[in-house]
Structure 1
């Protein structure tokens, strides 16, 4: 039975009376705080809701600008027009903005802008007493924005400077960041070691430091001693002519990914609060590391210091034989927390050092051979007869892979190209597997379909020692 029309109208009237706009009745400061959680462009779009919401976006405490939605193709009129529209949008919003201080100012730009424009935007944020200043820009190296103001702020708590291209900065003599706790520099070239020293002496309360792809090619020696630093990330930096030493006894988390011999020395010999370390040792930055033993010594000391808390280790290229080659009076340190080990391309002579490390890692669960099992000295083609002779000299039983099979539950072999060395070593792993649950083999994505099928057939014919082991074959992921 259908409800009467009169009854339907009564229900509709009741709903309309109960559906009041309670959100708009909130105070302005609360609504402004709510809009601060939205991207600035979305917050501005609420102005079309009603006259009540028309200028509420000007009360936000977080401003985030990204020109990606209005970026055209490079070198086109559309790109120029999009840049002009974005500048007009930012300038108008900053002119209407009313709240001070602001909590965060974020700027991400795909296009390049004049230094005068960027300086005006950054000056606005600094004058508003911004606490978090983050930017990611395509900066023109011949006219970068004036960065002096960034390093003379009494309100900044977090500063993140990311360039899409390298650009140089020089820390002013009057640098002073009394409240800064988070510093993130990416693709930054420091003009001298004095700038590096002034930078760290200006922020005594720094708790989190990230240096990515930063460079300094000048001579110098800087020692940064701090009891406040707890989180340290250093990736792909290079200070080949100088030495940068970080003494942080209260360091808690470390992520370190560098080529060996870059003269960056994180040190926490007296730390009692260390929790986790992830270390990656890349290839050499020198042609002859035998003449740069001091640089290698720094990396070796770092490994020993972080061994007790290291959860992830990655050795790439020729770093293994230099880092793990111990002196006669040295012993391989214990790695009680190590769960993941990445192994890159290195000579067979380095196997004994790696397996000695694995013997010291009782919690090891995952082993990844990033460059697979193949001989560096001869052809990688399937069943090639053009062998160098070197890959015939060691038999699989001569290569100590047993520790990997005994402990690891997951083993990944990347870049499998069908070379007989690869198949023999994979077979050796399977024959000795006891707790291994998964063996994943990634083939080289450049292989012919016929060769890939042949490799798959050969892998499936390999014997398995562990009944629970699952052999999988996949295409090489884009990550490697």
Structure 2
């Protein structure tokens, strides 16, 4: 069911025994009656919906005992700072908090997201707004796509490093992770928790953070098997490549495949590639996208890469030009 501007929701909507999919779009203020019972509802889409009260969504969720999938894009003028999502039957959550979100109350309070979903299997979180994201009782088979930025106007109490640490502590059982992060300063770089179950990692970093992300994730992912690296513009950074002080367990015991996208051939890029090739003892394949506008640049990259010694005698280096 779709709702258009100025449409008044009929009371019978909240007690439908047969409704399976509900799609509410922007243009309404959601008012939830005291009695809500949607026993068949499995998919709920709340696209830029204004909440009458801070607990409006929670009141709706309590009346949906079979709910499995939830999509929420926060209304850009939402002044209800805390968003609580507590659904025991839940399997997939897509939560979008856009960058242009009006944030911070008159008392300096920032936005907060609390997710308590013990059966959650898939999390898609794009959040350029919240000062705090808390995940409780996350599943051991979780797949997560996380895009957390710091480009918004932060409140004085916001600590990006602490925010990231708390978020990853909540999904520390994740197996498949696609993360886009951006550390604003060295002083605010988070200490990541150990991700014991992580086997597949796709990491996207901006130019300022560059390969420093890689060091952190190699150290905290002891069972990593497949690593994909992407960059916003380029993978290298103005900062020097700082390899781990000790070779991480994932390189010594588990890492089998590495994929590099948007390789630009800066010095830091080669240093990182050399470290990975030298220390990944069980590497089977590394694929590097070296496509450049200049053929001579491609040849120089090829010449450097094939000369790097490898720790795995059976590894295959696949270069794309």
TM class by smaller structure: 0.7 to 0.9
Q: Give, in angstroms, the shift of residue 229 of structure 1.
A: 3.5
Q: Give, in angstroms, the shift of residue 314 of structure 1.
A: 3.6
Change (3 A) 1:298 1:374: closer
Structure 1 counterpart of 2:193: 333
Structure 2 counterpart of 1:262: 130
Whether 1:465 aligns to 2:301 is: no
Q: Give, in angstroms, the shift of residue 338 of structure 1.
A: 0.5
Mapped partners of 1:289, 1:463: distance in 2:
48
Change (3 A) 1:223 1:463: closer
Structure 1 counterpart of 2:121: 253
Structure 2 counterpart of 1:217: 77
Structure 1 counterpart of 2:107: none
Q: Give, in angstroms, the shift of residue 370 of structure 1.
A: 0.6
Q: Give, in angstroms, the shift of residue 316 of structure 1.
A: 2.4
Contact conserved, 2:196 with 2:223, CA < 8 A, in 1? Answer: yes
Deviations 1:390-425 (A, max 9, x none): 6xxx4x6x5239436434211111111222332332
Contact conserved, 1:280 with 1:316, CA < 8 A, in 2? Answer: yes
In the TM superposition, what are the counterparts of 1:394-433 in structure 2 within 5 Å? 394=240, 398-400=242-244, 402-403=247-248, 405-406=251-252, 407-433=254-280
Mapped partners of 2:220, 2:89: distance in 1:
29
Whether 1:447 aligns to 2:293 is: yes
- Cα RMSD, aligned residues only: 3.8
Mapped partners of 2:9, 2:140: distance in 1:
34
Mapped partners of 1:423, 1:256: distance in 2:
32
Mapped partners of 2:155, 2:218: distance in 1:
25
Q: Give, in angstroms, the shift of residue 318 of structure 1.
A: 1.4
How many residue pairs were aligned? 303
Deviations 1:337-385 (A, max 9, x none): 101222222556983x7535433433211112211874444xxxxxxxx
In the TM superposition, what are the counterparts of 1:9-408 in structure 2 within 5 Å? 133=1, 144=5, 146=7, 148-149=9-10, 151-161=13-23, 167-174=26-33, 176-185=36-45, 188-192=47-51, 194=53, 197-204=55-62, 205-222=65-82, 224=84, 226=86, 228-238=88-98, 240-241=103-104, 243=111, 245-248=113-116, 250-259=118-127, 261-263=129-131, 265-268=133-136, 271=137, 274-287=140-153, 291-293=157-159, 297-307=162-172, 309-319=173-183, 325-326=190-191, 332-346=192-206, 347=208, 351=212, 355-371=215-231, 374-377=235-238, 394=240, 398-400=242-244, 402-403=247-248, 405-406=251-252, 407-408=254-255
TM-score, structure 1 normalization? 0.53
Change (3 A) 1:334 1:315: same
Higher relative contact order (CA 8 A, sep 6+): 2
Mapped partners of 1:259, 1:171: distance in 2:
22
Listed as ranges, the gaps of 5+ residues in structure 1 are 1-132, 327-331, 378-389, 476-480
SS of equivalent residue, structure 1 residue 370: strand
Q: Decide which structure has greater helix share.
A: 1
